[in-house]
Every structure is written in structure tokens, then in C-alpha cells.
Structure 1
Amino acid sequence: MTSPTAAPGTAPRAAHRAGSPDGIRLAVLDMAGTTVTDAGAVEDAFVQALSQLDVPEGGVAHDRMMEHVRATMGESKISVFRHLFGDESKAERANDIFERAYAELVAAGRCKPIPGARETIEALRASGIAVVLNTGFSPRTRDSLLASLGWLDLADAVLSPADAGRGRPYPDMVLTALLRTGAPSVHHTVVVGDTPYDIEAGLRAGAGLVVAVLTGAHTEPQLRAAGAHYVIDSVRRLPDVLRGS
């Protein structure tokens, strides 16, 4: 296989590659920020959850907590709340408020596909590459989002931390995707996401390619520093990377 060329304005991080795959057979794609845009709905739902647990906007505690939320985008939401409150009952209550708030925002039409995402997923599957969508949302929130997009049958599988054991940055969802689809090995897997935690999960899993996209909340320098092999402007450019790999 020839070496991939990065999309315009990017450069490969070849030194971090886990191997030299003979051909990608599995694509593990993040949802919010990577294949789906939600116009800030995740942050808004976090704000509602914090406010209802007596952490109102404008306070020092609120600002500190939201900094952690932004720094850990991609992590399991219940794990984030456990860190913020240090109390299981509060974390579960906050997570329930978050999920209800996010579901309302989804129902209001805040979430839409990233342009070209559906077509990319369909093209990958048509070429023989299995596609698994993964997210830090609970299965309930994930499925309501997929239903709103008409994506319930779009991918070969969809995974949340509850389906795999641990959420990002642990590699569990990537490895579970491998087992669910029967892909040959991690070296035949590409992991795509918009956060450093997505990148770290792919690297920990030993994925042959780990690709970052710039449609989420993190910058190119942040994603490069996390170890992404390639940084592209959007998931719609993923086929270009794979054709060059």
C-alpha cells in the first residue's frame, strides 16, 4: 500500500503509525462533531444540568466545570459528571438532566449531519469497509439522535461506552467494533474523531490509521499534539486519505 497524502493544509504524522495496514477494512467514526453537527447542543445540555444542580452560569465553579467539559469532549458523559461532582447520586442526576435536555434539543432540530457524512459512510460500506459509529452518549441518547437523522440503519453497528465497558480515551469501543464486525485486525482499522480523546482511544487500540477532523471544538494544533496521523477539514475527505493509504 502506498503512503497516504494528507488533505491540503495538513501533514502526516507517520512516526506515530501503529503499523502499515494492507488495506482498511473497518472505520470507527465518532458522532457529535465528526459525523453530526449539533450547534453547541452538547454544551447547552451540560449548562442546563449544572444549573439545575445549583451551579449557575457566571460563577467561578460553573466556569471551572465547563472548562473540564470542553477539555474532555468525547468522554462518557456520566464519567464527566462523576469527576465534576465526586458523588455518584449527583452524577446520575446530572446525567439524567443532560440526557433529557439534549433530547429536547435534538427534537428541536439542533442536530444535523455534517455535510457529506452520510455519503462518506455509504461509500465506505459500498467499498467493503465496515462502519461503526461510536459516541460518549448513553444508548438512549445515541439512538434518539440517530432516529432524528434517519440513521438507524446507516452503519454496521453503533456503540456507546455502556456497550463496550469503558468510554474514551480507553480503547474499548474501538476494540468492540473490531469484534462486532469481524475486521481482520486493528492494523486494518481507521479511527476518526474531532477530539483528543478520540485520537487517544484510536492510538491506544493500535489502529492502523487515526484521523482527526476540524468540524468539532478542537483546533488543528491540539489534534496534532494528541497524535493524529492526519488532520483533515471534514469526514468527507476520509476517502481521499484512504485512497492514498
Structure 2
Amino acid sequence: MNRIHAVILDWAGTTVDFGSFAPTQIFIEAFKGVFDIEITLAQARVPMGLGKWQHIEALGKLPEVDTLWKAKFGRSMNSDDIDAIYAAFMPLQIAKVVDFAVPIDGVVDTIAALRQQKIKIGSCSGYPRAVMEKLVPAAAAQGYQPDNWVASDDISAGARPGPWMALKNVIELGIGSVFACVKVDDAVPGIEEGRNAGMWSVGLALSGNEFGKTWEEYQEMPKHEIETLKQRAADKLYAAGAHYVIDTLADLPIVIESINARLAKGERP
């Protein structure tokens, strides 16, 4: 096991949906539609990477959202409120996720290159299974299809930042050692997931939640603004425990070369 045998990839912001907009926009709509509470895109992004019920719970605990909730209802958000928002979120997300299934630039070629190295492709997401059952075939139709996928509600022990989804991939892919795996994610809980699973964790500073721009917005941004946002994203991902931070998945093969060299020397994550 002196080389990488599998990569475990996140979905939104990592392999599809540049900027990770599919889930964030739906959270905004669900909060507004159910309780007439207006949250911002920046607020919706804060807990990104968690399971979606847990994401709503975390949003309710943000001080600014809690203040709005108390002003409107005289109390903090409770589990019944979370259930109501989640019930509104799910059909909206199922209906719209296929619109965000386009692989991020470079993903399809990178997956092909990894497979040439006999590296297996696992994946997991904060999306529940009902959403993934729409997203997976839509992405496959456009060229991206992992060897395995795990949804947040497939795991009774809970989702990120716990290691369970990543470890389920290890089992289902038949990988002998967790240190021969790389977990790639654009959000803090996903980086923590990889570390908790004993894997090498790689963060994405450009394509995902922490950068938070659409592909079109990114193309029009001045270079200095891009570098500022990338550095801010990288700092956050490194603080979460990332071993490496790169721009997009297209940069992953170079990182795997580096990790393979470290494994050959006996290093471990």
C-alpha cells in the first residue's frame, strides 16, 4: 500500500456545480417560503458540507438567524421548525438538482487519468439519497460517473464531519487501508470527514463553497480579487486540517504524485 488506491470525492463544488449553488439557493427559498425568514447566501453557505437536516439546524443557530427567529416567534428554532423547512427543501432540491449536474471543467479528464492509474473513484455528499438518485444519472449523462456513491442518510451513525460516509466507500470499493485513500472536498466538514477517516484530505479553494462564485462570475473577476478569495478559502481549509489545498479537481493528479512519494517513504496522513 505504498500508493493511492482510491479517491473519495464530494459532489457539489467538487465534481459538479461550480461554486456550490444548488443547495444554497434552495435553503434561501425554503426559509422564505415556510417561515418568511430571509437568510443571505453567505449565511446559507456557513454550514455547507453537513447533512441537509443538520445544515438547517446549524443555520438556525447562527446568531443573526436566531435573532430573526426570536423577533418573529419569540423563541429559537426547534426541531419541528427544522422538519418543516426540510420538508419544503426536499422537493425543491430534487426538482432543481439536475440543473446543477454539469461536471466542473477538468473533472471528466481527471477521472479518466486517475482510472488509468488503477485508482478507484468513490464519492459522498451532504445530499440525501432522494436527491442523489436524480443527480447521479444526470451527471453520468454528461460524462461523470464514480464507481460508488454514498448519501448522507445512508449512514445511521450520522454524516459529516464524522468519517462514516468516507469509510462506507472504503468498504464498498474494497480498499485495504484508509491511508491509501484521498478525500477531496470544498467545505470544512468534508475536510474533517477525511481526517477523521484516517485519509489524506485535499481541499478545493476555487471551485466550491468557500470561493462561492459561479463559473461566469469567476471568468469576469480581476486577478487580484481571485487571489484574495482563493487565499481566504485555502486558509480556512488548511485550518480544518487539509493536507493539501488546490484550485480544482484538475490539480489532483499532481497531489497524488506527492502523496505516493510520501507513502513510499513510510509517511501516513
1:49 equivalent in alignment to 2:33: no
Question: Which of 172, 184, 188 is the aligned partner of 1:180?
Answer: 172
The whole-number CA distance in structure 2 between the counterparts of 1:82 and 1:231 is: 28
Q: Deviations over 1:64-107 (max 9, x none)?
A: x962x322101000122244375444323322322222233334
Cα offset for 1:178?
Answer: 0.9
**Unaligned runs of at least 5 residues, structure 1:** 1-20
**Unaligned runs of at least 5 residues, structure 2:** 61-75, 211-232, 260-269
Are the structure 2 counterparts of residues 182 and 110 from structure 1 closer, same or farther at C-alpha, using a change threshold of 3 Å?
closer
The whole-number CA distance in structure 2 between the counterparts of 1:86 and 1:76 is: 18
1:141 equivalent in alignment to 2:116: no
The whole-number CA distance in structure 2 between the counterparts of 1:41 and 1:161 is: 16
Q: Larger strand proportion, structure 1 or 2?
A: 1
User: Is contact 2:185–2:204 with CA below 8 Å preserved after alignment?
Assistant: yes
Question: TM-score of the superposition, structure 2-length normalised?
Answer: 0.74
Specify the code of the residue in structure 2 equivalent to 1:144.
K
Cα offset for 1:244?
Answer: 2.6
Matching residue of 1:74: 49
Matching residue of 2:152: 161
- Name the count of aligned residue pairs: 217
Q: How does 1:1-245 map to 2 (within 5 A)?
A: 22-37=2-17, 40-57=21-38, 62-63=39-40, 67=43, 69-83=44-58, 84=60, 86-107=77-98, 109-150=99-140, 154-165=145-156, 166-207=158-199, 209-214=200-205, 215-218=207-210, 219-245=233-259
The ranges of structure 1 where at least 4 consecutive aligned residues each deviate by more than 6 angstroms after the TM superposition are: none
The whole-number CA distance in structure 1 between the counterparts of 2:101 and 2:90 is: 14
- Is the radius of gyration larger for structure 1 or structure 2? 2
The whole-number CA distance in structure 2 between the counterparts of 1:205 and 1:185 is: 11
Question: TM-score of the superposition, structure 1-length normalised?
Answer: 0.81
Q: Larger helix proportion, structure 1 or 2?
A: 2
User: Is contact 2:188–2:237 with CA below 8 Å preserved after alignment?
Assistant: yes
CA RMSD of aligned residues (A): 2.2
Specify the code of the residue in structure 1 equivalent to 2:34.
L
